[in-house]
Chain A
Amino acid sequence: MSESSSSKIIKVSGPLVVADGMKDAKMYEVVRVSDKQLIGEVIRLEKGKASIQVYEDTSGVGPGEPVVATGETLSVELGPGLLESIYDGIQRPLKDIEAASKSPFIARGIDTPGLDRKKKWAFKPIVKVGNKVQEGDVLGEVKETTLITHRIMTPVGKSGKIIKIESGSKTIEEVIAVIEGKNGEKHEITMLQKWSIRNPRKYKGKKMPKTPLVTGMRILDTLFPMVKGGAGCIPGPFGAGKTVTQQSLAKYCNAEVIVYIGCGERGNEMTDVLQEFPELKDPNTGEPLMKRTVMIANTSNMPVAAREASVYTGITIAEYYRDMGYNVTLLADSTSRWAEAMREISGRLEEMPGEEGYPAYLGSRTAQFYERAGYIECLGSEGREGSLTVIGAVSPPGGDLSEPVTQNTLRVTKAFWGLDAKLAYRRHFPAINWISSYSLYLPNVQDYLKKEIAEDYMDIRTTMMGLLQEEAKLEEIVRLVGMESLSSKEKLIMEVAKMIREDFLFQNAFDATDAYTSLQKQYRLMKLIISFYKEASGVIDQEDFDFVKLQELSVRSDITQASFIPENEMKKFDDIENDIKEQISSLR
């Protein structure tokens, strides 16, 4: 850290501070602003003047106060201890902030490291002295939580021969290995590594994602699937259930590691997550969800610049676990707040605005962010594969999807789960509109579903989608001339579409059994409805067929209740299938 005495503040305007005498500063370098030691980042340089976005409240800061460059770019600390942590936007643990502030309110100028320096971890070496390693090779392991084994990798840019490797109880700052490079230089490796948040972490190559990310939400998994390594967005007006959907994904999706970014959202909502996650059990392993989760909480009233940084902090941590060979899901709620933070800073920089005052680089920044998702081959000689799925919530003002943030996001995400206020008003949850939503990953998962679940999975899905489309058309007619004018065939379509909506798509996120449905059960559920449709199609053509009788069949309520059948009692589905056949044929 070198203090150049000539670096002084010349302007303060909200989170933006301009300092002169900053000739040696570099773009995105971290600086300490004023006597209060506020953390900031250089975002523009011009003739020795640096524009700095400050990650803390700047009231009381004035011209003439010093600015100190740190020589480092804004980085995150990577190493054991990330999981179960709750950070603010620039990786300061909220718990430590509380202790340092000595108050429930966040004080300024607090400098707390992201990872615990004192905690000892049991390091288990994998390589031996004499082994040759290249960047990305696993040196050893640490059991970070009951769910995740943390792999300590050879840092990017380092390679050579292991000349020393430790074992046993170590802190993250102790040397665990020494690598001798080509020219005889010695690299001391610790478990603590740093990475600049604005640079994507390196990998060998990207691959086509092919495995579905199972979320347990029926409308997503079956109608609009996501893949491990994909990118998706959830736009929706307020009250449509963005956050509940994001939280359901965080709880139940079958990724091994979850990074959850609460970016500019409600304080109470974060508290809810903070209280709930440690108690909730992972449906796949039965362990508390927190054991696989890293949480970043930069609520709306916390400094706006830190909100801008929070998505980068989160995605860098996510990439780090991906590099270990894990399937990671990153949830960002909400990316609109991130874009607004960019707009605010851009406005203060007096940049030429693009649409709706957003900076012209909104599109490229959004694209860069979502492109950090992917199914990749990791660095290292072992051929590990990892994936990073990115799902961003978007909060379009007034629910208007034509606004810039939504539009820019749609360009780079391949799954679109559009939340609909009308469905939410009807308390149909998840309020994802089945007509406007789409997923371009359908072809990717086709093979998997056919092979692992059922040969006719895709066919049934297609039938179901067709019925829903038909219903949307028929609804117009019904609205104009009433249900009575429909033919029996059309009535049946309306009836079955209603069953699809109410018995399949409707899912209660707050009910323990209903909240998560395995792919197998999803298949059985939709099969029930489609069997009902097929069987009924055979009887409705009879002359003087009384449609009400079909509606009154007792098997109807069995189908409704089927979503509550526990995962280990699949046999019950066979019984219902039989009942459908029997009861409908009795109408002949």
Chain B
Amino acid sequence: MQKEYKTITKITGPLVFVEEVEGIKYEELVEITLANGEARLGKVLEAHKGMALVQMFESTQGVSTEGSKARFLGKTLELGVSEDMLGRVFSGFGRPIDDGPEIIAEKKLDVNGNPINPWSREFPNDFIQTGISTIDCLNTLVRGQKLPIFSGAGLPHSRIAAQIARQAKVRNTGEEKKEEKFAVVFGTMGVTFEEAQYFINEFEKTGAIEHSVLFINTADNPVVERIAVPRMASTAAEYLAFEKGYQVTVILTDMTNYAEALREVSAARKEIPGRRGYPGYLYTDLSTIYERAGRIKGKEGSITQIPILTMPEDDITHPIPDLTGYITEGQIVLSRELHAKGVYPPVNVLPSLSRLAPIGRKRTREDHEGLFSQLYASYARGKDVRELAVILGESALSDIDKLYLKFADEFEDQFIRQGENEDRDIEKTFEISWKLLSKLPKEELKRVKPEHIEKYMPKS
């Protein structure tokens, strides 16, 4: 039986100070019982001799220095895991909120996990077909990668994430794959009820819920609980992937809210802030989430991560997208301009990048490498011309520039734009690509091999 302390001396924001404590440990879980008997959880953020600084995961509303009791649980924050979690919805804290029964845990895992030994990692190399041309062809996703979506307020990142979750499958040409087990682990942090509900409905509608685990923290849930969500999700994912052999896709939305929660705790601790008030350890903290994606030697399963974040004021240099970009293997950037033009998915092709794409491209078709490079270069040129046309007027453009301008327009309309339920396979994407390129003069196509032009270009 653990001791109960009635020595809460100070409460500030999400932080509670408990004095005269003994034998407490750093990161240990703390249960604070209110006068009315309600119990809330927190963890030890700083362990001093005789004093504990506790960060509450839930609201501190109603906690008082008199009458509230603190109990140190002797363990760190854990998640009881089991395959029965599939198809279930949990709170950000790992408690079922879907009226289903409690999960009978196979084992309990520390949600902080341990870092994967770089030596034990297996390099990602299976091409994942998402059915979205801009991702498959230009920013190829591979299994075990972490590829975030950099979005902005009001852009359709949720729909894209749901589409990826729905359509993603491994396509390795040449080899027959045996039956594989798929799972989606989904965590929301501070999103609106509607947004969370959109995902739940979407998953239910397509039956995807059967192989999904959802951790839901909405805007009205406690802010600090958001700090637990990605760790809960990653722990569930690691269990499914590395112990049960599932191919797991983890979707986390919205990482911006996560970072704000972190800032809130940091501010309450009066820590010296780094850039824009975010704590100096934001990079390290984010990396302990993102780096939990990957593959491990000798294990069947894998974790592919698609975190979503909204860039404040669409500013990619803001600390959250910036530090994320330094950790993740690329980024899919969404464009307000394309969205305003009514193009779905509004993927901003030029700043988007998948660092692992060269591996993915080797796994598709021989012409992929050249096509990628050519489409990218031609579209970039087309966009330059478009800018030029704004200054000089379209009539001042040279003939070749006019062709590029037309290419850029058609590229956006036929290649980038696609239906929300359109699952374009990679061959279809290639077909569209060649059709678009065929409208440019052949001399301009320096990045595709001549023999591929011969083989794949539609003869007009």
Residues of A within 8 A of B (CB): 8-14, 57-64, 86, 94-95, 97-98, 101, 103-108, 237-239, 262, 264, 266-268, 270-272, 274-275, 297, 299-304, 337, 340-341, 343-344, 347, 353, 356-357, 395, 397-400, 421, 425-427, 479-480, 482-483, 510
Contact = CB atoms under 8 A, between A and B. Distances in A.
Given A400-B317, A425-B351, A62 B26 contact: yes
16 contacts: A10-B48, A12-B47, A14-B281, A61-B25, A105-B120, A106-B115, A106-B117, A238-B325, A239-B331, A239-B351, A239-B355, A264-B283, A268-B144, A272-B123, A337-B283, A357-B274
Contact of B388 (A57, A271, A479): A479
B118 interface: yes
B137 to A, nearest CB: 14
Contact of A98 (B120, B319, B398): B120
A262 B291 CA distance: 14
A86 B118 CA distance: 10
Interface residues of B, number: 76
Contacts of A480: 391
Contact of A107 (B114, B292, B377, B396): B114
A268 B28 contact: no
A63 B280 contact: no
A302 B115 contact: yes
A190 B329 CA distance: 45
Contacts of B230: none
B395 to A, nearest CB: 12
A539 B232 CA distance: 71
A271 B115 contact: no
B380 A299 contact: no
A86 B27 CA distance: 31
Contacts of A297: 118-119
Interface of B: 22-28, 45-50, 76, 110, 112-124, 144-145, 242, 271-275, 280-281, 283-284, 287-288, 290-292, 294, 296-297, 299, 316-319, 322-323, 325-327, 329-331, 350-351, 353, 355-356, 358, 373, 376-377, 380, 388, 391-392, 396, 398
Nearest to A337: B283
**Chain A residues touching B, majority SS:** mixed
Contacts of A101: 117
A302 B118 CA distance: 10
Contacts of B292: 301
A98 B222 CA distance: 38
B119 A11 contact: no
B371 to A, nearest CB: 13
A301 B283 CA distance: 9
Nearest to B27: A59
Given A105-B116, A271-B122, A427 B377 contact: yes
B272 A353 contact: yes
Contacts of A95: 119
B48 A63 contact: yes
B116 A300 contact: no
A353 B27 CA distance: 26
A12 B119 contact: no
B322 A11 contact: no
Contacts of A94: 117-119
A344 B121 contact: no
Nearest to B328: A266
A15 to B, nearest CB: 9
Given A11-B48, A62-B24, A421-B351, 20 more contacts: A11-B49, A12-B47, A59-B76, A61-B26, A62-B26, A64-B23, A105-B116, A264-B283, A268-B145, A268-B294, A271-B121, A297-B119, A299-B115, A300-B327, A301-B115, A340-B284, A343-B280, A425-B351, A480-B391, A482-B392
Nearest to B47: A12
Contacts of A400: 317
Contacts of A397: 275, 317, 319, 322-323
Nearest to B315: A398
Nearest to B123: A271
A48 B145 CA distance: 48
Interface centre among A9, A104, A264, A341 (most CB of B within 10 A): A104
Given A59-B26, A238-B322, A98 B117 contact: yes
Contact of B49 (A63, A267, A300): A63
What are the 9 closest A-B residue pairs judged by CB atoms, nearest first? A398-B317, A59-B27, A300-B287, A104-B120, A94-B119, A62-B25, A301-B291, A105-B114, A238-B325
Contact of A266 (B24, B316, B318, B329): B329
Interface centre among A9, A57, A101, A399 (most CB of B within 10 A): A57
Contacts of B124: 268
B126 to A, nearest CB: 13
B114 A347 contact: no
Nearest to A502: B446
A398 B322 contact: yes
Contact of A267 (B23, B291, B317, B351): B291
A363 B90 CA distance: 48
A304 B327 contact: no
Interface centre among B24, B114, B388, B391 (most CB of A within 10 A): B114
Contacts of B114: 57, 103, 105-108
A356 B118 contact: no
A301 B26 contact: no
A585 to B, nearest CB: 24
Nearest to A343: B280
A153 to B, nearest CB: 30
A60 B76 contact: yes
A423 to B, nearest CB: 11
A17 to B, nearest CB: 9
A357 B272 contact: yes
Nearest to B238: A105
Given A357-B272, A427-B376, A344 B49 contact: no
A303 B122 CA distance: 21
Contacts of A395: 326
A425 B117 contact: no
A214 to B, nearest CB: 26
Given A64-B23, A267-B291, A11 B46 contact: yes
